[in-house]
Structure 1
Amino acid sequence: MALEKPYLDVPGTVVFDADQSRKGYWLNQFCMSLMQADNRARFKADERAYLDGWDMTEEQKQAVMARDLNWCIRTGGNIYFLAKIGATDGKSFQQMAGSMTGMSEEAYRAMMIAGGRSVEGCRFMHEAAGTPAQPTGGIAIHEGV
């Protein structure tokens, strides 16, 4: 029996639940491999060849190569694992988070120091669409929220 997932109706939110965990297992295992210096060197030398050694989907590989962390999350990545990619690239977590919001590191830092994003606005996807909430069985993604 499927569990109810009311969080699927929250725009801009991907909750790392059991389904996401299964979907992203190999992506997250790849990320964890970057904790080893020799694996980081192999990845940096030939990203595609290194990624092809993992049982990831082509979409996951493309998301990693694009360094699109939101895309990685949609394909099952967990931000705490994905942080290993940023570290491999010499990026701070703050730089990574800024890139995920479309903000510069400085703008992201200022927003967080000021208390984060406003709670005003679209709180549920069904409100934006003007329709009742419907279970989608998918992941709620709404860019720009």
Structure 2
Amino acid sequence: MVWTKHDYEDIPGTYVFDGKHAHGSYNLNKLLFSFCEEANRNEFDKDPAAYCDKFGVTGKYKELVLKQDFLGMLRAGANIYYMAKMAIPRGTSVQDCGARMQGITTAEFQAKLLEKREGLEEKLAQREGYWNG
């Protein structure tokens, strides 16, 4: 399949979930979405490698799942909402994932969030309720 190059592909630190990424990571996302069901999460916990095989998740995708490399999965085309279905039931919070993605501790990530919060209400008021940043 031929994919058109987009300007957003060159934005540093941005991993856009588009058709190109969705196509290549279909089996990965199918596996992650399966975690909506508790029985599937339990099956995965018993034998993660076999569970990957069941969904046809192989190669680099399988390695990322087994390492719980959330940033790697995101870069490879995982849907971030589906990744939460893998992380949260295992006691990994969204903030834990954010910290891992930035290579810092959860406490450092939380401090960054609090730092960014300063003046947010004023910024929202100035921009009629919209803030990007």
Q: TM-score, normalised by structure 2?
A: 0.80
The aligned residue for residue 105 of structure 2 is 104
Gap change, CA 1:88 and 1:58, over 3 Å in 2: farther
State how 1:23-38 maps to structure 2 within 5 Å. Answer: 23-38=24-39
Deviation at 1:13, TM superposition (A): 1.6
Distance, in Å, in 1 between the alignment partners of 2:4 and 2:34 is: 32
The aligned residue for residue 16 of structure 1 is 17
- The runs of 4+ residues in structure 1 deviating greater than 4 Å are none
Unaligned runs of 5+ in 2: 118-133
Deviation at 1:2, TM superposition (A): 5.0
Distance, in Å, in 1 between the alignment partners of 2:57 and 2:50 is: 12
The aligned residue for residue 90 of structure 1 is 91
The aligned residue for residue 127 of structure 1 is none
The aligned residue for residue 136 of structure 1 is none
The aligned residue for residue 41 of structure 2 is 40
* Aligned CA-pair RMSD: 1.7
Confirm or deny: 8 A CA contact 2:52 2:58 kept in the other structure. no
Deviation at 1:74, TM superposition (A): 2.1
- Which shows bigger deviation, 37-46 or 50-59? 50-59
Partner secondary structure for residue 13 of structure 1: coil
Unaligned runs of 5+ in 1: 117-145
The aligned residue for residue 58 of structure 2 is 57
Letter in 1 for 2:93: S
1:82-123 per-position Cα deviation (integer Å, ceiling 9, x unaligned): 11111232111111111111111111111122128xxxxxxx
The aligned residue for residue 74 of structure 2 is 73
Q: Hey, which of these two has a bigger chunk of helix by percent?
A: 2
Distance, in Å, in 1 between the alignment partners of 2:51 and 2:76 is: 19
Q: TM-score, normalised by structure 1?
A: 0.73
The aligned residue for residue 126 of structure 2 is none
Greater RCO, 1 or 2 (C-alpha within 8 Å, sep 6+): 1
Q: Percent identity?
A: 31
1:50-102 per-position Cα deviation (integer Å, ceiling 9, x unaligned): 11101223210100101111111122111111111112321111111111111
Distance, in Å, in 2 between the alignment partners of 1:28 and 1:88 is: 17
Distance, in Å, in 2 between the alignment partners of 1:37 and 1:3 is: 39
